[in-house]
Amino acid sequence: MATLEFTKMHGCGNDYIYIVAMRARPADPSALSVKLSDRHFGVGADGLIMLAPSSSGDIRMEMYNADGSRGDMCGNGIRCLARLAFERGLVRRNPMVVETDAGLKTVELRLEGRRVVSATVDMGEPILEGRDIPVKADGRIIDYPLEVAGRRESITAVSMGNPHCVLFVADDGVFKLQDRDFAALGREFEHHPFFPRRVNTEFIVATSRRNLKMRVWERGSGETWACGTGACAVLVAAVLTNHSERTATVELRGGNLEIEWRADGADANHVFMTGNAVEVFSGAVELGADEMVPVKK
């Protein structure tokens, strides 16, 4: 048998199981994510994130959704990973550079002593060209008419290293939907043929030009209490559709994120996200001896 230690953390309620995989790693992290993410028979989480060695950054984030699918990037997840890496002494630098499947991301930690209280992530430039998001259309997808479940919806598509479909709704009816009904709606978008790699979908009420209320359905995980890349995509979509200024608070079920899409300066066109990174608890699970393998040098 092998003992695998883990830490459960969340950013605005978007919770993941974190594993330090610097010397040994799960042989099948996809299957392990499904097993541990189960909220009845496992630890319970939106997925699994591993802290792994990096050849191009200070550390690498390897992410798996609750259904076992590989995730490219997670804004809430990367803040928690950076806190864990810093407080465990795996990375001493602040800001630190995290390698992800969506490229290198810089995370700056706000400290009180040696304790991390929040983090700001340079999420990079939004991707707006349709085929690169990807969607099955050319050009920018802004207020684009899309037939979904027999209705015509107006969507704006943005990638922040993963694809997002943003809908601005006139009232808060979508926030009152029962979980079962919201899940049915979310799946219609996630598996729509317009999105060849599936899609994360955000439903937004712009309560003011500096406040956006959001409910999100994430591909591979279902409804989550927060989505960092989604909040960034929402701010970009809100600016493009004239719903918001370039800095706004995005209000999620699990808390608020501060998002800025910079217009000028050295970081022009980059999106910055600031939010919490909370450790919930640590534990260990028993795995079979063949379920862990050494990390290749």
Cα distances (Å, whole numbers) of residue 285 to 52, 116, 194: 19, 26, 40
Determine the Cα–Cα distance for residues 97 and 16; give it in Å rounded to an integer.
20
Bridge partners for 208 per DSSP: 211
Count the residues in the chain.
Answer: 297
Contact criterion met (CB below 8 Å) for 88 and 21: no
Determine the Cα–Cα distance for residues 79 and 6; give it in Å rounded to an integer.
17
Q: DSSP 3-state assignment of 222?
A: strand
Determine the Cα–Cα distance for residues 123 and 104; give it in Å rounded to an integer.
9
Contact criterion met (CB below 8 Å) for 274 and 258: yes
Bridge partners for 20 per DSSP: 51
User: Alpha helices of 99-255 — where are they, by DSSP H?
Assistant: 179-190, 228-240
- Sort 140 into a burial class: Cβ within 10 Å, 0-12 / 13-18 / 19+: middle
What's the sign of the alpha-carbon dihedral 262, 210, 146, 165? Answer: positive
Q: Annotated catalytic sites, by residue?
A: 74, 227
Q: Residue 81: which of 121, 24, 25, 43 has the closest Cα?
A: 121
Tell me whether strands 103-112 and 200-208 are parallel, antiparallel or unpaired: unpaired
Bridge partners for 104 per DSSP: 99
